[in-house]
Chain A
Amino acid sequence: MPGEKEADKKEAADKKQLSRRDFLVAGGTAVAVEALIPAISAKAAPPSPAGTTYPASKGYLVYDSKKCAGCTTCMLSCSLVHYGVQNLSRSRIQIMQDSWGKFPDDIKMAPCRQCLVPVCVQNCPVGAAFIDTAHGNVRRIDNKKCIGCKTCIKMCPQQPHRTVWVVIDGQGQSSKCDLCLDTPYWEEKGGPGGKQACVEACPMMAIKFVAQTPNQEQTEGYDVNLRNDHWLNLGLVDNSTVTPKTSLAWPKME
């Protein structure tokens, strides 16, 4: 199908864009797994062999950490639509803040990057972490298969790790952002082409779904500027040389 050909071309292009960071992470995987996971179930599948290629996700979450107000609505939305409860620890997007910190370093936003080389998928010993080729190549975790070995958590190259440990009925297992493909507590269709709970609920519109693969270098490709002049005109600048177009002065009090 023409669409598939386009997708194949895109995938090939994405492969070419693999950063040195991605390569290093993928290349170091085997040794690290051996060190961290001493015993794996006999039934477990081995990690993906070196050289395996992966189709790029057709969706990503980018965000603006200078626009985030730290209300954690995105985290609670994530937890709600996936689990039917509200719990920051279950959220697949993490917002961390230091109330005494200095802007902009006081907030860190941490959604899953849907990595081009998905280390979680690559290293899952049982195939629970997988690429959902039927749904836009989203990197997902099948909670029915997850054995709770935490390999994906230990191997995630991001800080904090974007795979999230959840305990359900006393049983711990990994989870990760699925771009809202599987949301039993939300009526909306998710995934690429659909809606994401964090994007919809964020009152600052500081999270955005994009189809284009962000630049993979460090965090800059994901932490983008989503502010327009309306934001600036509130006096919320990221540079003291910037002057809002609207007046900030109050009328003189009576």
Chain B
Amino acid sequence: MTGGYTGKILRVNLTTKAVSTIDTAKYEEFGGGHGIGSAVFFDLVGDQLPFQAFDPRNLIIMMTSPFSGTFMPGSGRCEVQGLGPMLYPVEWFGHSNFGGRFTAQLKFAGWDGIVVEGASDEPVWINIVNDKVKIESANGIWGMDTWDTQEEISRRVIPSLRHGEWAELADNCFTTQIPAVVCCGPAGENKSRLGCLLHGPGSQAALCGFGGVFGSKKLKAISAIGSKDVPIADPKAFMAARLWFRQFQWNVDNPREPEKFAAAGPYALISGRPSGGNVLNRELPLTPARAAACASCPRGCRMRLATGDSNESVCAGTMVISVEGSLKFTRQGNDVMQRYGLGHWQLMPLMSYVQTLYKEGILGKGKQLDTNLPLDNPGTFAYAEELMRLIALRKGIGNDLAEGCARFAEKIGRYEQDVNSGALGLAYWGTANHYDPAIEAEWGFGSLLGERDLMLHMMSNYPLHWMAWSGAPYVTAEEAAKLYTDAMEPYQGDVFMVDHSDGPTGIYSDSKVKQVAWIKHYEKFWVGAGGFCGWRWPMCITNNTADRRGPTPKAEPKFWNAVTGKNLTFADYMEIGHKIYTLDRSIWVLQGRHRNMEVFPDYIYDRPSRGHDMPMYVDGRWKYDKGVGRKMDREKVEDFKTRFYKFEGYNPDNGYPTRATLEKMNLKKVADQLKSKNKLG
């Protein structure tokens, strides 16, 4: 192996307390991150599937990418994989990622990733300082919230640590950085399916419920810090690429068309300007703040405030709790969520559902679901804090709520009724509805054909979604279609990939099949294996260049090849993404996935869409149009799926990967495993 890798993956067995290594080179063909994680998962436990997420056999896999620890723009995410207890009806092999500094420090410590297996009898945490790895007792830490946990662990790792000074990590190895800690909170300790992993004050791995898996393993936290080199195959080319990339960044001193793109509103999200991700500092008088970035991110979508609250939280991390009339308590309410370690993307629909049940007279004091929660004051800090406390500690009604939206609804006998009616706003595998699949169909299909909400905003619709909504799009619908699809190698040139009409070239077309395949392959390789941020990549279009072209697809291989020393094309890497997706799909099949399960809830088909401005090709011309009143068509969805399976090399009867497809991808052992379970496509 050349640049980007350290060559070894840490393997920790919490049952036996054995610490060993896996040779990264064995998995190099999968790129890194999600790709290597899936391959390791299959090799270690693929033949034992299916089993449950809280089974000690479940793995927590946290992989870096070759970009981790480098200045590759927007590559600071950490991919977490394992069976996800949040997901429904099966705890699918899932993934969730978080930003911050963790993968960088793990790489500086000399590791390409961590695989945790088994379960400890007593609470523990894993201490990684360069090559030294210890399983430490979590005495005095178990029970702490996520913030106190990180502070206490940092103190234990470097007792002499002082902000702004050098500290000696090991013999003759120094750093000014603080340990990067990822941990579960009380929610995870109590095996809540809402339990997230938290790093820093606001970086959540919110999906899948991996905090609960930590809890089931009695694993409180993993800390990493290091002082080693990340090798770069071609340093000159890498530096040149980084400086070349500046043209696509927001120019903070002299931005392009600032009167349009610097203003708040939709462009705060998509323009690439610093700090737009925290929605809680828009009211005058403003709280003094800085833009805060994950490792190596040139945007810095977060903030750190003079008050110190809502630091580094973005988007849903600043939106779940809303305290009427108090910005201060709104920020701190969201921070309470972070401290309990509750996943925002599940807590949001759950809190909404609790109110729905209250208004329907089902939940409340003396009701069928009896609780003393002050449900008539949902806009207060007291209500939000008490509800989160009950869920995190599994107290009272919180014990059932901690099972997550889907299983809670199932337990009270309302799942079919409330999910299909939309009263409980789930859309994909127990995770919340996001963008309307009747309009932004690639989001819907990309989620349905995955294992949870897609959560990759830049992947398909984000700039388009917000650009048109702003009322002042910077390109026409026709230009948007051309720019986007020009970048979508190897399917470039098919403009109808971004047609959001329901006409013959629209959301059920062969072009849309290609777009969804492109999304899944990009998701698996560049975002998953590369550790990219879904708020930054891909960049098919941008307001920061004169011709509105983004760096995709030139940038990705330019950087990857400079770091690793490989010489592959964008399309080559996308094919690896196809391979990773196929491997993931094979694992899901081993867990019981069948095409019959890949259906939307009824309300997605039956409820007329409110519509949303997106590029549509209607009556022979492009325009931004809404599609108001549109319903998804069950028959057309099924036909779409049939063509998608064929396109990807899967059996359209059941959605299973075929032997021919798997062997072509050098996945013969996967084909053999599927065959042994009679599930080969």
A247 x B263 contact (CB < 8 A): yes
Total B residues in contact with A, Cβ cutoff 8 Å: 83
What is the distance, in angstroms, from A40's C-beta to the closest C-beta of chain B?
A: 19
Tell me the chain B residues, 264-291 only, with Cβ under 8 Å from chain A: 264-266, 273-276, 281-291
Q: Which of B296, B304, B307 contacts A99 (CB 8 A)?
A: B304
Q: Which of B163, B249, B275 contacts A235 (CB 8 A)?
A: B275
Total A residues in contact with B, Cβ cutoff 8 Å: 70
Tell me the chain A residues, 50-65 only, with Cβ under 8 Å from chain B: none
Task: Tell me whether B258 is interfacial, beta carbon within 8 Å.
Answer: yes
What is the distance, in angstroms, from B253's C-beta to the closest C-beta of chain A?
A: 5
Task: Tell me whether B174 is interfacial, beta carbon within 8 Å.
Answer: yes
Task: Tell me whether A228 is interfacial, beta carbon within 8 Å.
Answer: yes
Q: A160-B166, A200-B243 are in contact. Are A71 and B290 (CB under 8 A)?
A: no
Cβ–Cβ < 8 Å partners of A236 in chain B: 274-275, 289-291, 303
Task: Tell me whether B299 is interfacial, beta carbon within 8 Å.
Answer: yes
A100 x B201 contact (CB < 8 A): yes
Cβ–Cβ < 8 Å partners of B421 in chain A: none
Task: Tell me whether A218 is interfacial, beta carbon within 8 Å.
Answer: no
What is the distance, in angstroms, from A79's C-beta to the closest C-beta of chain B?
A: 8
Q: A86-B69, A99-B200 are in contact. Are A80 and B239 (CB under 8 A)?
A: yes
A161 x B166 contact (CB < 8 A): yes
Task: Tell me whether B176 is interfacial, beta carbon within 8 Å.
Answer: yes
B295 x A248 contact (CB < 8 A): no
What is the distance, in angstroms, from B202's C-beta to the closest C-beta of chain A?
A: 8
B71 x A96 contact (CB < 8 A): no
Task: Tell me whether B595 is interfacial, beta carbon within 8 Å.
Answer: no
Contact flags A82-126 to B (C-beta < 8 A → 1, else 0): 011111111000101011111110111010000000000000000
Task: Tell me whether B255 is interfacial, beta carbon within 8 Å.
Answer: yes
What is the distance, in angstroms, from B161's C-beta to the closest C-beta of chain A?
A: 11
Q: Could you say which of A80, A185, A233, A236 has the most chain B C-beta atoms within 10 Å of its C-beta?
A: A236
A167 and B227 alpha carbons, distance in the complex (Å): 10
Q: A70-B293, A89-B174 are in contact. Are A103 and B288 (CB under 8 A)?
A: yes
What is the distance, in angstroms, from B651's C-beta to the closest C-beta of chain A?
A: 42
A81 x B239 contact (CB < 8 A): yes
Tell me the chain B residues, 317-347 only, with Cβ under 8 Å from chain A: none
A108 and B283 alpha carbons, distance in the complex (Å): 28
Task: Tell me whether A204 is interfacial, beta carbon within 8 Å.
Answer: yes
Task: Tell me whether B238 is interfacial, beta carbon within 8 Å.
Answer: yes
Cβ–Cβ < 8 Å partners of B307 in chain A: 102
Q: Which of B252, B264, B295 contacts A249 (CB 8 A)?
A: B264
B232 x A80 contact (CB < 8 A): yes
Task: Tell me whether A243 is interfacial, beta carbon within 8 Å.
Answer: yes
B291 x A159 contact (CB < 8 A): no
Instruction: Taking A85-B235, A88-B175, A248-B286 as given, write out 19 further A-B residue pairs in contact, using a Cβ cutoff of 8 Å, ordered by the A residue number.
Output: A76-B70, A77-B71, A81-B239, A83-B229, A89-B108, A89-B174, A89-B175, A89-B228, A100-B311, A103-B306, A106-B311, A187-B236, A197-B239, A200-B243, A230-B258, A235-B275, A237-B289, A249-B265, A250-B264
List of 8 A-B pairs having minimum Cβ-Cβ separation, nearest first: A203-B298, A69-B300, A71-B293, A185-B235, A85-B229, A89-B227, A69-B293, A84-B235
